Amino acid sequence: MDFKKLEVFCKVYELKSFSKAALQSYLTQPTVSGYIAFLEEVFGTKLFDRLGKQISPTKAGETLYTYAKKILATKEEAEKDINLLLGRKKGGLKLGGSTIPGQYILPSFLGRFKSIYPGCKISLSIGDTKQIVHMTLNGEIEIGAVGAKFNIPKLNFQSFARDELILVVSSDNPLSEISHMDISALKKVPFILREPGSGTRMTMERILEEKGIDVSEMNIVAELGSTEAVRQAVMAGIGVSILSKRAVEIEINTGLIKEIKLDDIEIERDFYLVYHNQKTLSPLAIAFLEFLEESEERI
């Protein structure tokens, strides 16, 4: 059976959409529909119920998905081991990144790495720190880049970049008139918080707790699931927030957002590369780690 058809089937199953699966697989929607029709003919049963634009897997579809994931994982392991045996730096490299390293740091490195190894196919999944760590632990990705370190014996965490978190406010907010704020004032101002699992939130909570500020005592007006959502909420004047300076550099330079210095406190953190220490990395993954280590532009 063609592995590509199984990969597309899994995309349709996970996205619950033929059109989205086609987009992510770089195929036309009729091609995706043809793949699913082929599999339904092979197994002699429907794999998805189609209700207008909505689709849902049948019991047979759910069963096939379980086995398809195992088959594709075994295929990837075989390719990795063969490439390792032959010393080939080619094939697929699955990476993951939490919001800041995934969106603001890794992409520039990936472009340069791809120019050195043009035969590689790189995929980058974005999630919060806990999601990326979980994906690394489960073998869904080989290397992750995250904003916090965990005590998980099966995983290695290697520092590779620094970050600064700053208090920001919309330039239209009356608070933008002040340049400094005492940390105790954070309890009173409307504050926009990242979701649990975010490395930014974990770092912020730890630093504030050391200064005697409990997040539960703050005036939380919104809790949002991404840096982009928080940034947009800040610009809309909903409240202030603590964000990575990397994520708001353009807005600060163009005057849309203003930084307010917190007196007697600096919030800094490391970003970490994380990988499984009980699974053999592919030659490509090893080459990527070495590339980051040797890069003159490490931050």
* Calpha distance 234→242 (Å, rounded): 10
pLDDT of residue 298: 47
pLDDT of residue 86: 61
Looking at the domain assignment, is residue 262 inside a domain?
yes
Question: What CATH number does residue 48 fall under?
Answer: 1.10.10.10
Domain co-membership, 103 together with 17: no
Looking at the domain assignment, is residue 192 inside a domain?
yes
pLDDT, mean over the chain: 88
Looking at the domain assignment, is residue 299 inside a domain?
no
If one counts the domains in the chain, the total is 3
Contact 83, 282 (CB under 8 A): yes
pLDDT value at 73 more than 90: no
Domain co-membership, 176 together with 260: yes
* Calpha distance 295→26 (Å, rounded): 32
206: phi then psi, degrees, rounded to nearest 5:
-65, -45
| 3-state secondary structure string across the chain | CCHHHHHHHHHHHHHCCHHHHHHHHCCCHHHHHHHHHHHHHHHCCCCEEEECCEEEECHHHHHHHHHHHHHHHHHHHHHHHHHHHHCCCCEEEEEEEEHHHHHHHHHHHHHHHHHHCCCEEEEEEEECHHHHHHHHHCCCCCEEEECCCCCCCCEEEEEEEEEEEEEEEECCCHHHHCCEECHHHHHCCCEEEECCCCHHHHHHHHHHHHCCCCHHHCCEEEEECCHHHHHHHHHCCCCEEEEEHHHHHHHHHCCCEEEEEECCCCEEEEEEEEEECCCCCCHHHHHHHHHHHHCCCCC
| pLDDT, tens digit (0-9, with 9 covering 90-100), for 25-39 | 878 989 999 999 999
pLDDT value at 283 more than 60: yes
Looking at the domain assignment, is residue 280 inside a domain?
yes
Q: What integer is the mean pLDDT of 38-53?
A: 89
Owner of token pair 């490391």: 270
Band of the pLDDT at 193, cuts 50, 70, 90? Answer: very high
Domain co-membership, 208 together with 70: no
Domain co-membership, 110 together with 170: no
| pLDDT, tens digit (0-9, with 9 covering 90-100), for 141-157 | 999 999 889 999 999 99
119: phi then psi, degrees, rounded to nearest 5:
-80, 0
pLDDT of residue 1: 61
**Residues of the chain with pLDDT > 90: what percent?**
52
Q: What integer is the mean pLDDT of 17-46?
A: 90
For 14, the token pair is: 């996970």
Range of the domain at 281: 91-161+270-294
pLDDT of residue 85: 59
Domain co-membership, 156 together with 188: no
Q: What integer is the mean pLDDT of 187-212?
A: 91
* Calpha distance 161→147 (Å, rounded): 10
Domain co-membership, 189 together with 233: yes
Q: What integer is the mean pLDDT of 257-273?
A: 91
Distances (CA, A) of 139 to 68, 70, 99, 134, 144: 16, 12, 20, 9, 11
Contact 218, 191 (CB under 8 A): yes
Contact 35, 8 (CB under 8 A): yes
Question: What CATH number does residue 136 fall under?
Answer: 3.40.190.10
pLDDT of residue 237: 93
pLDDT of residue 170: 95
pLDDT value at 88 more than 80: no
Domain co-membership, 155 together with 167: no
Distances (CA, A) of 245 to 91, 105, 235, 257: 35, 12, 15, 11
Length of the chain, in residues: 299
Domain co-membership, 169 together with 261: yes
Domain co-membership, 237 together with 214: yes
Domain co-membership, 117 together with 141: yes
- Of 84, 115, 131, the position where a domain reaches its end is 84
Domain co-membership, 152 together with 287: yes
More confident position, 247 or 80: 247
pLDDT of residue 89: 61
Domain co-membership, 287 together with 153: yes
pLDDT value at 119 more than 90: no
Looking at the domain assignment, is residue 136 inside a domain?
yes
- Of 27, 60, 84, the position where a domain reaches its end is 84
Looking at the domain assignment, is residue 234 inside a domain?
yes
pLDDT value at 76 more than 90: no
Please name which of 106, 94, 107, 81 lies closest in space to residue 135, comparing C-alpha atoms. 94
Q: What integer is the mean pLDDT of 40-55?
A: 88
**β-pair type (257-262, 180-181):** parallel
Question: What CATH number does residue 228 fall under?
Answer: 3.40.190.290
pLDDT value at 229 more than 50: yes
- Of 84, 108, 138, the position where a domain reaches its end is 84
